[in-house]
Structure 1
């Protein structure tokens, strides 16, 4: 029997609509099957689609399931902030000052700061040095010389990110990737943005080798980058990042380390609101 559910499409990590990363959110999706969720996520053809459900953990305010067009993710950053925005906008009331989201990766804390939301970066599933053969694959996929990679680290908090740093923003923006050559690797690229025209401290790009596409603005990658860059002394405890430039977007991501916890923040804009029948 078809169900009609409330629905929103929002733009995450953006101070104005259409400049960040779009997210589709279905509200009250407890009655949907896994197959229905996966089919709708394929149909939206967005990088992620989420489904809000009743929590199963006593500390959680809501539960979210996160789907790409091909698989379900345990955690992702812009779906976390976008789903929280929609949950609050739909009348959700957190049990405490912080919102607690339940997802496949566990419980994620979310802070509200005026128009901004910030999630606590989850622990990395994999970190450490990147193998030589993997760096060779990345260099081939980015169509650059291996020597242009000035630093690297596994930085996986769910989607499988491996991160590399380039010497300049100009080098980063010039990359036109060969996705088949990446052999399914999800590669995050970061470079400092210097000079009088700098509008952020870093420029970031997210190349999803498993999908063969670039993600406009990526919370999970920015979270894992911060967990590498700050302890390594490559970034200060508070910084900003721009992402999506090559795609014509102006994603704005804030990063702040408070104590031992890293928070990733951004604004969310409501673009579409209505009903969906599934």
Structure 2
């Protein structure tokens, strides 16, 4: 009976039982797509990763990311957590890892403490900022049980944004953030009205005070009622805000997961580049569990 090793880590935290949990299958050779998807559903985390040999030997791994119901082209906390695990196994090259993914090549810098122990990672999102559909404030508010006036549209309307995977970003009033609660029927209705959403409606709500951001992310159509830390959405938000605010570089600290009892801290750096606005996102990790899948 094949034994497939895995490890779990809490990502974007320095405390056990904080941040966003991730399962990493460190040697997924021989697993079929169906088995990977079934294992991701079995683990029941926001995402699970599967590490495979790279197609290009200049890179370090091919990493596939699955949430409970489908594969993702890119995601933030899975890359940070997978890099953390592999670096602890000595699988980085001079402090850098390069992961092949559906959205493109993801470059990751390993973070260490003064004693040299691996503490986390910083990833570069694989694509520059791209924007898509704008959605009505009242429709977005209804998805999470808020009033239309709770959605702030001074800087931007609720809008699809991506640096590798698409989210709908919406600013809300500070006191409204804690009141947000997904309404599954309303999510389904809104997704059905807009075919360009392709059935994906991952809603990233945020409040902002200068460079400090508080956020929550809901993706019930994908099986994630709420996500405690969403690196790819935070990276997209950083890029969007830089594009709106002007300047060449911006830094954000994003606090997420508080309402879930899993506080998370993400550090986002966004810069203007020749091909658009690009973002990096960094955070710490905590190792939690090790085991084997018996298939």
Do the two structures share a fold, i.e. TM-score over 0.5? yes
- Whether the 8 Å contact between 2:143 and 2:187 is mirrored in structure 1 is yes
What's the offset of the Cα at 1:259?
A: 5.5
The CA distance in 2 between the partners of 1:27 and 1:192, in whole Å, is 37
What's the offset of the Cα at 1:58?
A: 3.7
Alignment match of 2:162 (pick from 142, 151, 156):
156
Alignment match of 1:241 (pick from 230, 254, 261):
254
SS at the partner of 1:232? Answer: helix
Question: Which structure 1 segments of 5+ residues have no match?
Answer: 195-199
The CA distance in 2 between the partners of 1:137 and 1:234, in whole Å, is 29
The CA distance in 2 between the partners of 1:164 and 1:16, in whole Å, is 29
SS at the partner of 1:155? Answer: strand
User: Which residue does the alignment assign to 1:99?
Assistant: 97
Q: Sort the Cα spacing of 1:108 and 1:26 in 2 relative to 1 into closer, same or farther, 3 A.
A: same
The CA distance in 1 between the partners of 2:167 and 2:108, in whole Å, is 22
What's the offset of the Cα at 1:231?
A: 1.7
The CA distance in 2 between the partners of 1:128 and 1:65, in whole Å, is 25
The CA distance in 2 between the partners of 1:25 and 1:275, in whole Å, is 11
* Residues 19-30 of structure 1 mapped to structure 2, 5 A cutoff: 19-30=18-29
The CA distance in 2 between the partners of 1:56 and 1:107, in whole Å, is 11
User: Which residue does the alignment assign to 2:214?
Assistant: 203
Whether 2:155 is the aligned partner of 1:142: answer: no
- Whether the 8 Å contact between 1:180 and 1:212 is mirrored in structure 2 is no
SS at the partner of 2:229? Answer: coil
- Whether the 8 Å contact between 2:87 and 2:110 is mirrored in structure 1 is no
Q: Sort the Cα spacing of 1:215 and 1:149 in 2 relative to 1 into closer, same or farther, 3 A.
A: same
What's the offset of the Cα at 1:129?
A: 5.6
User: Which residue does the alignment assign to 2:83?
Assistant: 84
Please identify, of 245-254 and 181-190, the stretch whose mean Cα deviation from structure 2 is larger.
Answer: 181-190
User: Which residue does the alignment assign to 1:250?
Assistant: 263
The CA distance in 2 between the partners of 1:246 and 1:180, in whole Å, is 22
The CA distance in 2 between the partners of 1:230 and 1:14, in whole Å, is 25
SS at the partner of 1:119? Answer: strand
What's the offset of the Cα at 1:131?
A: 3.5
SS at the partner of 2:37? Answer: helix
* Residues 115-194 of structure 1 mapped to structure 2, 5 A cutoff: 115-123=119-127, 126-128=130-132, 130-132=134-136, 135-151=137-153, 152-168=158-174, 170-183=175-188, 184=191, 185-193=201-209
Whether 2:266 is the aligned partner of 1:219: answer: no
SS at the partner of 2:7? Answer: strand
User: Which residue does the alignment assign to 1:197?
Assistant: none
- Whether the 8 Å contact between 1:73 and 1:158 is mirrored in structure 2 is no
Question: Which structure 2 segments of 5+ residues have no match?
Answer: 113-118, 192-200
Q: Sort the Cα spacing of 1:208 and 1:244 in 2 relative to 1 into closer, same or farther, 3 A.
A: same
User: Which residue does the alignment assign to 1:112?
Assistant: 110
What's the offset of the Cα at 1:172?
A: 0.9
SS at the partner of 1:65? Answer: strand
The CA distance in 2 between the partners of 1:8 and 1:97, in whole Å, is 21
User: Which residue does the alignment assign to 2:195?
Assistant: none
